[in-house]
Structure 1
């Protein structure tokens, strides 16, 4: 039996196809009487009518799809931060009556290809989450490509440029400064910073804050105590071994730039038979999901990843539904978690 069409409903209700469409798709309309609209809805239910969403999208010029781009080499659900951001995005998307479409990267780490960005125009808008693979030049080029393609988008995490874009992130210079003040206040004089890459926006701005906070306390973060691992565990071990081999000015505390670096440090301490915080104090920057898994619980400045996801989706959908909405740059507050490691 053929699926019922809009024309079948219109014929039984004694109205035009246009009137039936208005009644089904516009609950607040006054172009069809309340009595007639109730009759049309009843007939549609009796016939088991299912709207053609593609046709509806073409008519409204809207698909009610939100695209998500996350330039990671690994599945996004393996990354605790991304998974929490995604949870927040999904909560808002569902609440606002949209669906989520995830694009898989095929270009180099940190980037999507131009063709993929152009393909994303099928969705009503795009959320782009910067990751540890997104260098400053990658982020800038992504914004240029999205603007060229006239794609409505919101960016999440680690963007410090001047482009007029919807953006949700954390104030990393302020976080770095707060971490430095806490570390200095605990009496530490020799501090190390474990990072991923000196080219990452997060590294640059955390370092700026760390150095400012330490300078205010009369302390210095020396270049030899800034270790960039490239997110390679073996390289992290080499850096940490070199710090522990120092006779003078050996770091008494390490600040870790993100969750993966923190886990590399915990693995190193266990492998070398050391104890936290007896042999080394640790302060991290990450999210509460990772903190809850580690023992001892790391002293950390936590990032509101779920809230960032929710807000990014709200900002994007607001700009879709109200194109005149001004773009916003929102820096969410980080939270200090005392933990047991510093």
Structure 2
């Protein structure tokens, strides 16, 4: 039995620096030999290979992936990780990518050009295998050129003329359906709180709102289209505008997101306004909180799990060099008819809670993030 030397140091794993010193080259040359051996001339390449064998150096997983031109990492870019709307989509995306052996990095661009430029550099540096772009914008980026370098799939927000696959809902038709529902209840002066300025979803929902009014022969009042920003705070600001109108207040408000609708309701209720007795309020998205808020919010429900799953599956197929099952999809939404909207002639009368699809069949409750 050999005696253990208490002063002996534990064996150290060889590093790329050890290889470089033994071969008499730079660490960059060692890295290049591993990732692009054809770019390293003989006999330098042979010296590096011999040094690797002599030191017992084992490249880590990242180095091995680089040699195969793969990092097994997907970058998901969102305009705001704090928005509750994204939670269900993120869960669906992460589940698909994890099952396929990919790691996921989430980047919050916050619609900030500086942060967007940073992530653009990350993508161009080849640090990821693919990108899921949630925010519908990455200014200054030539997407056609970049998509030739690595796959990019759009989630929820299209980028017109980009040529990229997109998985989204029919925002225009869904906004029109909600506007028509409000009109069917006798409302003619309907305000619309828009989403973030410049966002494709924002524009499509405004068009749907206008379509609904025009089809019913109701003039569009531009003064009732209020700029928002897909946030609780934007809804609260719109509520202050509503309160300031006095007798000229609209009888219904259609917000382009549930967060804005809930922010609006809280603010007007704090001011003594009854919802839906004094004003009916509808939202868009179908976030979990919309079903349990008081009053329960009438809203457009997006199929968020399906959006995330289909988008991630498209990206995985393209990263693997396979033909994706779907090149893109525009999915239908459903209307959840709840307590925050009442017919105009039912002032101060709270309608029973109910849900239905546009076709008249029951709509599903919003998907809960903890169910996936």
**TM-score bracket relative to the smaller structure:** 0.7 to 0.9
| 8 Å CA contact 2:179, 2:213 repeated in 1 | yes
Change (3 A) 1:81 1:142: farther
Deviation of residue 327 (structure 1)?
A: 7.6
Instruction: Find the counterpart in structure 1 of residue 93 from structure 2.
Output: 89
Change (3 A) 1:146 1:111: farther
Instruction: Find the counterpart in structure 2 of residue 26 from structure 1.
Output: none
Deviation of residue 63 (structure 1)?
A: 1.9
Instruction: Find the counterpart in structure 2 of residue 123 from structure 1.
Output: 128
| 8 Å CA contact 1:192, 1:221 repeated in 2 | no
| 8 Å CA contact 1:194, 1:254 repeated in 2 | yes
Deviation of residue 150 (structure 1)?
A: 2.4
Query: Aligned match of 1:109 in 94, 100, 112?
Result: 112
After superposition, residues 58-69 of structure 1 pair within 5 angstroms as 58-69=66-77
Change (3 A) 1:101 1:203: closer
Instruction: Find the counterpart in structure 2 of residue 285 from structure 1.
Output: 284
Instruction: Find the counterpart in structure 2 of residue 333 from structure 1.
Output: 332
Count of aligned positions: 284
Provide the TM-score with structure 2 as the length reference. Answer: 0.68
After superposition, give the CA deviation of every residue in 1:183-203 in whole Å (9 maximum; x if it has no partner). Answer: 111111111101244433222
Higher helix share: 1
Deviation of residue 306 (structure 1)?
A: 2.4
SS at match of 1:292: helix
Change (3 A) 1:183 1:139: farther
Deviation of residue 58 (structure 1)?
A: 2.8
Change (3 A) 1:103 1:334: same
| 8 Å CA contact 1:173, 1:205 repeated in 2 | yes
Change (3 A) 1:336 1:237: closer
Instruction: Find the counterpart in structure 2 of residue 57 from structure 1.
Output: 65
SS at match of 1:114: helix
Change (3 A) 1:119 1:140: closer
Deviation of residue 313 (structure 1)?
A: 0.9
Q: Find the aligned partners of 1:57 and 1:295 in 2 and give their Cα distance.
A: 51
Change (3 A) 1:111 1:220: farther
| 8 Å CA contact 2:195, 2:201 repeated in 1 | no
| 8 Å CA contact 2:134, 2:155 repeated in 1 | yes
The reply to whether residue 191 of structure 1 matches residue 190 of structure 2 is yes
Q: Find the aligned partners of 2:12 and 2:306 in 1 and give their Cα distance.
A: 42
| 8 Å CA contact 1:195, 1:261 repeated in 2 | no
After superposition, residues 176-187 of structure 1 pair within 5 angstroms as 176-187=175-186
SS at match of 1:210: helix
Instruction: Find the counterpart in structure 2 of residue 29 from structure 1.
Output: none
Provide the TM-score with structure 1 as the length reference. Answer: 0.74
Q: Find the aligned partners of 2:334 and 2:115 in 1 and give their Cα distance.
A: 32
SS at match of 1:103: strand
Give the alignment's Cα RMSD to 1 decimal. Answer: 2.9
| Structure 1 residue runs of 4 or more that deviate by more than 6 Å after TM superposition | 1-5
- Structure scoring higher RCO (CA < 8 A, sep ≥ 6) equals 1
Q: Find the aligned partners of 1:331 and 1:310 in 2 and give their Cα distance.
A: 14
After superposition, residues 162-311 of structure 1 pair within 5 angstroms as 162-230=161-229, 232-233=233-234, 235-243=237-245, 245-247=246-248, 250-311=249-310
Deviation of residue 318 (structure 1)?
A: 0.6
Consecutive unaligned residues of structure 1, counting only runs of 5 or more, are: 6-49
Deviation of residue 148 (structure 1)?
A: 7.4
The structure with the largest alpha-carbon Rg is 2
